[in-house]
A and B are shown apart, each in its own frame.
Chain A
Amino acid sequence: MSDPTVTMASERTPEPGPTAGAGPGRPSRRSVSPARQMLLDLVTRPRFAVPGTLVLLLAVIAVFPGPIAGFFGNGDPLACDLNRSGLPAGEGHPFGFDIQGCDLYAQVIYGARPSITIAVIVTVTSTLVAMALGLVAGYYGGVIDTILGRGIDLFYGFPFMLAAIVILTALGSHGIWAVSGTMAAFCWPTMTRVMRASVLATRKLDYVKAARALGASDLRIMVRHILPNAFAPVLVLASLTVGGIIAGEASLTYLGVGLRAPSISWGVQLNTAQSYFNSNPNLLIYPSLFLCVTVLSFVLVGDAVRDILDPKSR
């Protein structure tokens, strides 16, 4: 099953990259600020640049599906005509038609939006929740930390796919928010653990002690001193999670507990296609292709971000 937490937990070590020796380090490039250097490293890396461009393209598709779907002249995914049900590709319809007789190309293009919307909602909310909770738990420790820790243990008690199925079935709602909420519910615990560990490490640093000695308020110490130095690991995890969320959403939708028609999404298209894959393999191939390329792009971008932000890989 596409369980994002399992995939992520295994991603600990960097890929083979340039390793500096134990002795003298690499020559430093002093002229550029470290942050800018990192960004430069990232963008010029082919392993980032190619999937990065794809992700950008997908984002554009998700925001402006209309003009792109209309590229071949038939951009309305809901202009369906049952007389054209399952027809092969033709003039102005590069992917042919689906069972409802809708233009498959327009359908697939419009399908990017819910996938990416859900991925963004889930990643952003669970990252924010994780940062806030991890910060509080790591900074204050004690009872707050214990309660949160047990709560996280509870969420770890569920296999992701199963839990999502049960919740979505019980909710009986199949909108973007229900799906996003359910997935976010199982994303934040891992991130919070990572954030908490990172805060714990930062809290012990001398400049934090100094800030406290100087009488800075807890909130100020957390936001100004700890947060900027502790959020990188969560960011890495978040960037690695996006791909898993898209795949997970598609799986849930495909199972029939996620989004449902009339929503236009890859998962819905594939769910429909499963009954016809013998006679109309196109219905399966095109949405799958878009889905795989999307997930792959996000996974590769996440990988590259990890390479850059994880000091171990530098």
Chain B
Amino acid sequence: MTMPASETPLLEIQGLSVEFRARRAAPVQAVQDLSLTARAGECVVVLGESGSGKSVTAKAVMGLLEGNARTTAGSIRLDGADLLADPAAMRAARGRDMAMVFQDSLSALNPVQRVGDQIAEMFRVHQGLSKAEARTRAIELMRQVAIPDPERRARSYPHQISGGMRQRIVIAMAIALKPRLLIADEPTTALDVTVQKGILDLFRVLTEAGAGLVFITHDIGVAAEIADHIVVMYAGSVMETGPAREVLARPHHPYTRALLASVPRIERPGARTPIPGGLPDPADRPAGCLFAPRCPLATADCTATRPELESLEPGRAAACLRITEVQHVLAQ
């Protein structure tokens, strides 16, 4: 990245570890030693399979982890203030400085409240606006996220409107107070492709307006469309990170490469190669490289030593012991 090193990034996660505790079992490591940086006006996509810990990371940032999950290490800084160390700062930041868009808009909205009221609540509680003022602002906001006929729609209940429209409501709620950081957890997964496109465009407009966006998805196509920067996660750890275009065009880590190869492409019919095996059991994680059991290039060393995330070229890093060999293969 070309940013000066002295500038404080909008969101800086360092060495974050999250574990789940069950009553009669050993704790399960969901996220381990994760670092991530997001800047204003930029979209960071966290890419990974389901169970890779991406949603847990998002919830950790918002302080929304379930009761049986704990952050065991690391820091989450928003504009330099450590949210993990200061629960009051976390509470103050939620809704105002950072906001979240959820995957399932139907369950994310209160079923017995009109959608307009749910948006207006932001203005009423945070800014102390009157009922009428908040209502006007909510309708304005709904128009802004391209909901047709917002005056009428505002009186609908969540189950009465379409999935795409509901997701726009959730987004409107999130951007009500113009937060600088937006976290979107698979916001388009539940939608069909045409609706998806509209939502992605909306997010792009928001980042162009200066918001920092952390976008979580398992969909490489979506990532390619929206990402400025990509963080590839596997089994709770970062495998590779770098500018989106470069990571997708020239993946370094064997996992990223396998992930890209597993996607069917129109220009290469039949060339789809699924990754053999499955995610490691989170309660019984490999001692060495987490991907080693499924990696075609793994050696004995890989199963013994956990690789660190190492910088390869400016702005890019990968966690792989055999990265030079991989690059060598790649060069051929």
A/B contact in complex, CB under 8 angstroms:
yes
Task: Please list the residues of chain A having a beta carbon within 8 angstroms of any beta carbon in chain B.
Answer: 18-24, 26-28
Tell me, rounded to whole Å, the shortest Cβ–Cβ distance linking B31 to chain A: 9
| Cβ-based interface call for B53 (8 A) | yes
| Cβ-based interface call for B25 (8 A) | yes
Q: Are A27 and B281 in contact (CB under 8 A)?
A: yes
| Cβ-based interface call for B51 (8 A) | yes
What residues of chain A lie closer than 8 Å to B67, measured between beta carbons?
19
Bound CA span A24–B24, Å: 15
| Cβ-based interface call for B28 (8 A) | yes
What residues of chain A lie closer than 8 Å to B55, measured between beta carbons?
22-23
Interface residues of B in 199-254 (CB under 8 A from A): none
Interface residues of B in 32-82 (CB under 8 A from A): 51, 53, 55-56, 66-69
Contact among B23, B25, B69 with A23 in the assembled complex (CB-CB below 8 Å): B69
Contact among A18, A20, A24, A28 with B51 in the assembled complex (CB-CB below 8 Å): A24
| Cβ-based interface call for B283 (8 A) | yes
What residues of chain A lie closer than 8 Å to B53, measured between beta carbons?
23
Bound CA span A23–B69, Å: 9
| Cβ-based interface call for B282 (8 A) | yes
Q: Are A21 and B69 in contact (CB under 8 A)?
A: yes
Q: Are A24 and B68 in contact (CB under 8 A)?
A: no
Q: Are A26 and B22 in contact (CB under 8 A)?
A: yes
What residues of chain B lie closer than 8 Å to A28, measured between beta carbons?
281
Q: Are B23 and A27 in contact (CB under 8 A)?
A: no
| Cβ-based interface call for B26 (8 A) | yes
The 3 closest A-B pairs by CB, nearest first: A24-B282, A27-B283, A18-B23
Q: Are A21 and B30 in contact (CB under 8 A)?
A: yes
Bound CA span A18–B23, Å: 6
What residues of chain A lie closer than 8 Å to B28, measured between beta carbons?
21, 23-24, 26-27
Q: Are B68 and A27 in contact (CB under 8 A)?
A: no
Chain A: interface secondary structure?
A: loop
Closest A residue to B69 using CB positions: A21
Query: With A27-B28, A27-B281, A27-B283 in contact, do A22 and B66 touch (Cβ < 8 Å)?
Result: yes
Contact among A18, A19, A21, A23 with B24 in the assembled complex (CB-CB below 8 Å): A18
What residues of chain A lie closer than 8 Å to B283, measured between beta carbons?
24, 26-27
| Cβ-based interface call for B7 (8 A) | no
Given contacts A23-B28, A24-B283, A26-B283, 20 further A-B contacts (CB under 8 A): A18-B24, A19-B67, A19-B68, A20-B20, A20-B22, A21-B22, A21-B30, A21-B66, A21-B69, A22-B55, A23-B51, A23-B56, A24-B20, A26-B22, A26-B25, A26-B28, A27-B26, A27-B281, A27-B283, A27-B284
Q: Are A23 and B20 in contact (CB under 8 A)?
A: yes
- Show 8 residue pairs from A and B whose CB-CB distance is below 8 angstroms, ordered by the A residue: A20-B22, A21-B68, A23-B51, A24-B28, A24-B51, A26-B28, A26-B283, A27-B281
What residues of chain B lie closer than 8 Å to A23, measured between beta carbons?
20, 28, 30, 51, 53, 55-56, 69, 282
Tell me, rounded to whole Å, the shortest Cβ–Cβ distance linking A46 to chain B: 13
What residues of chain A lie closer than 8 Å to B281, measured between beta carbons?
27-28
Bound CA span A28–B25, Å: 10
Closest A residue to B23 using CB positions: A18
Closest B residue to A18 using CB positions: B23
Closest B residue to A29 using CB positions: B25
What residues of chain B lie closer than 8 Å to A27, measured between beta carbons?
25-26, 28, 281, 283-284
Bound CA span A27–B20, Å: 11
Interface residues of B in 13-30 (CB under 8 A from A): 20, 22-26, 28, 30
What residues of chain A lie closer than 8 Å to B69, measured between beta carbons?
21, 23
Closest B residue to A20 using CB positions: B22
Q: Which of A24, A26, A27, A28 has the most CB of B within 10 A?
A: A24
Tell me, rounded to whole Å, the shortest Cβ–Cβ distance linking B22 to chain A: 5
Tell me, rounded to whole Å, the shortest Cβ–Cβ distance linking B269 to chain A: 28
Tell me, rounded to whole Å, the shortest Cβ–Cβ distance linking B66 to chain A: 5
